[in-house]
């Protein structure tokens, strides 16, 4: 009995010492490895990670070398639904949507950058300042196993084409003026304007 007790005590001391050594040898890379093993989950539902948690984990945006981790969604002028009346559907069909690359060129962050809520908010503010966008928002979409986070950039287009035509008659002479302006020409975010006028004195 005494030998069995001595053996049990020896085993307990050995396990305790091994645990202490493992604790002392633990370093930052191993902690990051454990963090990367966390299950991938949607940030739109379930148990989302807060912006603070993402920054604490030093999460990075997107997976380096992979396309589509910064997801850009362009919403049409009018929300597309079955109840949308014909005139609004016509406007949507005539409207040239902003190109995804046009939005990407204005982002203040890239795939591989550290997640930073301040940078995301500043980017959204800059997008909302564009004349061809009614609204813009940027939110984390999904946290991945490799400690990266997918980001959703959502913008809402507005109708940007503004033509004008006017006629007049004064002193027995006709006058005419035509003007055209588009602040998002061909969805490129560029402003194009032209005008032509003609009256008894001159044409311009």
What gap in Å lies between CA 196 and CA 204, rounded to an integer?
6
Q: Is the per-residue pLDDT at 16 higher than 50?
A: no
Overall pTM surpassing 0.85 (yes/no)? no
Q: Is the per-residue pLDDT at 36 higher than 80?
A: no
102 phi, psi to nearest 5 deg = -60, -40
Mean pLDDT, residues 166-192 taken together:
77
């Amino acid at each position: 009995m005494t030998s069995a007790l001595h053996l049990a005590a020896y085993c307990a001391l050995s396990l305790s010492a091994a645990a202490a050594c493992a604790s002392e040898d633990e370093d930052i890379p191993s902690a990051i490895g454990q963090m990367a093993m966390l299950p991938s989950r949607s940030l739109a539902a379930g148990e989302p990670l807060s912006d603070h948690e993402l920054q604490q984990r030093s999460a990075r945006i997107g997976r380096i070398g992979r396309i589509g981790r910064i997801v850009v969604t362009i919403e049409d002028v009018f929300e597309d639904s079955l109840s949308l009346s014909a005139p609004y559907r016509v406007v949507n069909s005539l409207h040239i949507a902003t190109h995804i690359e046009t939005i990407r060129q204005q982002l203040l962050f890239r795939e591989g950058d550290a997640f930073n809520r301040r940078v995301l908010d500043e980017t959204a503010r800059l997008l909302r300042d564009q004349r061809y966008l009614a609204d813009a928002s940027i939110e984390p979409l999904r946290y991945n196993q490799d400690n990266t986070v997918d980001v959703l950039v959502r913008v809402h287009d507005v109708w940007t084409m503004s033509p004008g035509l006017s006629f007049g008659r004064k002193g027995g002479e006709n006058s005419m003026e035509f003007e055209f302006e588009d602040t998002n020409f061909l969805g490129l975010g560029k402003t194009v304007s032209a005008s032509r006028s003609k009256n008894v004195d001159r044409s311009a």
